[in-house]
């Protein structure tokens, strides 16, 4: 694990080198309760299977990256997509990646690629937030409650320094836990 400074954020990351010089870099973008550590051995397996280099990192407030000091703003995915990810790509000299995202990470990938300001070779998206379903809002509310009242916080934390750092995601994701409270 290494760290890179992007703006005022210190982000933990791992970069698995490519075996195939022609292969793109795959950037893994984690979900709202994820981190570098929670990808486990998937990045290494992906690098082995594709020959591509794989970048995996923890966003602000996750894993061993800079902890949150306040609740996330409603536009946090836009900030990640349009400010943090481009700066991270610049810092690590990643020109034309394939973005691989899950949930919040998939939404960040869509926002980044859709802005049309940075070259992206491709997208692999799992469950991006392109529309709101009642089951999603209910599931977020249930996860928020489980995080508050059970050992979910401890189970999500793979390192003592990561404990509690994901709590900033659920208030925005749940947005009051009703469809009416979610932005259009």
pLDDT tens-digit map of 41-94? 999 999 999 999 999 999 999 999 999 999 999 999 999 999 999 999 999 999
What does residue 53 show for φ and ψ, rounded to 5 degrees? -75, 150
CATH of 2-132, one of 3.40.50.1820, 3.30.470.20, 3.40.50.300, 3.40.50.150: 3.40.50.1820
How far apart, in whole angstroms, are the C-alpha atoms of residue 119 and residue 124?
A: 15
How far apart, in whole angstroms, are the C-alpha atoms of residue 179 and residue 30?
A: 24
pLDDT tens-digit map of 27-46? 999 999 899 999 999 999 99
């Amino acid at each position: 694990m290494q760290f890179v400074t992007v703006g005022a954020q210190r982000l933990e990351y791992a970069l698995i080198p490519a075996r195939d010089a022609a292969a793109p870099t795959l950037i893994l973008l984690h979900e709202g309760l994820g981190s570098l550590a929670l990808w486990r051995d998937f990045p290494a397996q992906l690098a082995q299977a594709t020959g591509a280099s794989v970048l995996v990192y923890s966003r602000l407030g996750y894993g061993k990256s800079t902890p949150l000091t306040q609740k996330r703003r409603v536009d946090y995915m836009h900030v990640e997509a349009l400010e943090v990810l481009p700066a991270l790509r610049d810092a690590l000299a990643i020109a034309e990646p394939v973005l691989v995202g899950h949930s919040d990470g998939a939404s960040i990938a869509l926002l980044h690629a859709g802005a049309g300001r940075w070259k992206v070779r491709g997208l692999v998206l799992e469950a991006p937030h392109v529309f709101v379903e009642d089951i999603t809002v209910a599931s977020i509310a249930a996860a928020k409650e489980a995080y508050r009242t059970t050992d979910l916080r401890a189970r999500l934390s793979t390192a003592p320094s990561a404990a509690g750092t994901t709590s900033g995601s659920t208030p925005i994701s749940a947005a009051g836990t009703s469809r009416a409270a979610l932005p259009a």
